[in-house]
């Protein structure tokens, strides 16, 4: 992971945090619930115990009903970054392992700079939660993100922003993972990292393909037809992923890991509205 590239990216871009129903600790950003900010939120009838200073006396003068003014709450939105810890994320294909870590670090720094409470969850064979972004990919044989997405989602805090960084290269159900992770989140951002070869494989003749996670092997002839079939399967997987994101209101961005972080933010994340220029 290139720390300088992360710092350079932080100078250019920041994480977009316009959340629909964000929750968080008392902070500087408006939440969607009533709070104590200066931003008007709503009226409601006075109830015993309400602060008399909140009674709108003008309304009482017009209608002789005690009405209390409510204001928007001010919060620090929570951010949960979920990083796929399976071995495929550590696959040496372009800058895939490094860029995933850099994206994680960028999101962590950007959110912290904006006052958010950030937690990082690495979903390998176990879900490892921490306050700091990981420095190296764990490379486990399987990922809880797809094997048990429900248990993974329960470990996350509700009402916050969630960023999932994964290649979604799994035989498991991608839709189930997106649905579970989006449930209870103010906003889910799905970043799919793909290596340049797996995004667009070349015709390479005889190859022995080895599944990085299961260890299964396949002696293959990468002819034009077989590569075309692979691309169509990958496209189907991408369509399915996008459909799931649309259905749950998640933002989705494909990150091809063949460029530095700054270029990837400009090329892939900025159009998807995941980052904004700072």
Partner 1 sequence: MSASFSMAYPLGLLGLLALPLIWWLHRYVVKAERREVSCLALWVDREQVRHEGAQRQRVPDRVVLALELLAALALCALLAGLDLPGAAAPRPTVGLVLDGSASMAGGRQGARPIERVRAVLAQLAREQPGLHVSIVLAAERPELLGERVLSAAAADRVLAELEPRGSVCNLPPALELMSALGVDAQSTWLFSDDPELVHPRLIRVGKPDANAAIVHADWRPGESPFVVLRRFELDPSSRDASLPIRLQLEIDGARQSTTVQVPREGGQPFQLPVDGRAREVVVTLPADALAFDNQVSLLRPLERRVSLRSEQLSQPLQAALAHALRAIPKLQPTASPSADLVVRENPSAAAREPSLVFLTQGSKPASFAPQPLADPFAALLSGFDGRDLLWFAFERAPVPGARVLLQSDPQALIWQHGDGVFVNADLAQSNLLAHATFPIMLTNLADELDLARGGLPRSNFRQGERLRFEPPRAASGEVAVQSPSGKSWRFERGQPVELGLLSEAGEYALQAGAQKQSFSVQLLSEAESELRQRKPADARLPEIATSARAPGETRSRLRVPLLLLLLAACVGAYWLLGGGWKRAGLNPAPTKRADA
Through-space distance between the first and last CA atoms of the chain, rounded to whole angstroms: 22
Pick between residue 111 and residue 194 the one whose CB is nearest to partner 1. 194
Angle 158-164-169 from CA coordinates, rounded to 5°: 135
Distance of alpha carbon 148 from alpha carbon 53, whole angstroms: 50
- Shortest CB 140 distance to partner 1, Å: 14
- Shortest CB 124 distance to partner 1, Å: 15
Binding site for partner 1 (CB under 8 A): 88, 91-93, 167, 169-171, 195, 197-198, 204, 206-223, 225-226, 229-230, 233-234, 237
- Shortest CB 220 distance to partner 1, Å: 5
Going by C-alpha positions, the residue among 164, 142, 141, 139 that lies closest to residue 153 is: 164
Q: Is 86 helix (H, G, I), strand (E, B) or coil?
A: strand
Going by C-alpha positions, the residue among 80, 266, 268 that lies closest to residue 188 is: 80
- Nearby residues of 194 by Cβ (< 8 Å), 6 or more positions away: 96, 167, 254, 255, 256, 257
- Shortest CB 96 distance to partner 1, Å: 9
Pick between residue 31 and residue 124 the one whose CB is nearest to partner 1. 124
- Shortest CB 196 distance to partner 1, Å: 12
- Shortest CB 19 distance to partner 1, Å: 31
Pick between residue 63 and residue 217 the one whose CB is nearest to partner 1. 217
- Shortest CB 244 distance to partner 1, Å: 17
- Shortest CB 105 distance to partner 1, Å: 22
Pick between residue 124 and residue 195 the one whose CB is nearest to partner 1. 195
Distance of alpha carbon 213 from alpha carbon 143, whole angstroms: 9
Distance of alpha carbon 119 from alpha carbon 135, whole angstroms: 15
Pick between residue 100 and residue 111 the one whose CB is nearest to partner 1. 100
Determine contact, residues 75/22, Cβ cutoff 8 Å.
yes
Determine contact, residues 187/20, Cβ cutoff 8 Å.
yes
Pick between residue 29 and residue 258 the one whose CB is nearest to partner 1. 258
Pick between residue 111 and residue 145 the one whose CB is nearest to partner 1. 145
Cross-strand pairs, 142: none
Pick between residue 139 and residue 158 the one whose CB is nearest to partner 1. 139
Token pair for 242: 């996008």
Determine contact, residues 134/120, Cβ cutoff 8 Å.
yes
Determine contact, residues 4/52, Cβ cutoff 8 Å.
no
């Amino acid at each position: 992971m290139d720390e300088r590239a992360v710092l350079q990216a932080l100078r250019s871009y920041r994480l977009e945090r316009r959340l629909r129903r964000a929750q968080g600790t008392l902070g500087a950003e408006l939440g969607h619930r009533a709070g104590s900010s200066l931003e008007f939120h709503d009226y409601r009838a006075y109830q015993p115990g309400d602060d008399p200073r909140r009674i709108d006396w003008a309304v009482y003068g017009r209608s002789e009903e005690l009405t209390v003014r409510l204001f928007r709450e001010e919060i620090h939105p929570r951010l949960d970054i979920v990083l796929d810890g399976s071995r495929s994320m550590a696959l040496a294909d372009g800058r895939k392992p490094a860029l995933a870590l850099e994206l994680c670090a960028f999101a962590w720094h950007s959110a912290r700079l904006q006052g958010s409470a950030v937690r990082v969850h690495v979903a390998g064979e176990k879900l490892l939660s921490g306050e700091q972004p990981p420095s190296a990919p764990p490379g486990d044989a399987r990922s809880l993100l797809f094997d048990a997405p429900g248990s993974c989602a329960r470990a996350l805090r509700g009402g916050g922003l969630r960023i999932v960084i994964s290649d979604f290269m799994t035989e498991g159900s991608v839709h189930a993972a997106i649905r579970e992770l989006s449930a209870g989140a103010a906003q889910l951002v799905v970043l799919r990292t793909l290596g340049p070869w797996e995004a667009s494989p070349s015709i390479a003749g005889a190859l022995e393909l080895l599944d990085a996670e299961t260890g299964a092997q396949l002696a293959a002839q990468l002819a034009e037809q077989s590569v075309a079939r692979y691309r169509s399967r990958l496209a189907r997987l991408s369509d399915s992923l996008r459909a799931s994101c649309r259905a749950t209101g998640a933002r989705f961005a494909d990150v091809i890991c063949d460029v530095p972080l700054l270029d990837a933010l400009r090329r892939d994340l900025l159009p998807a509205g995941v980052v904004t220029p700072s």
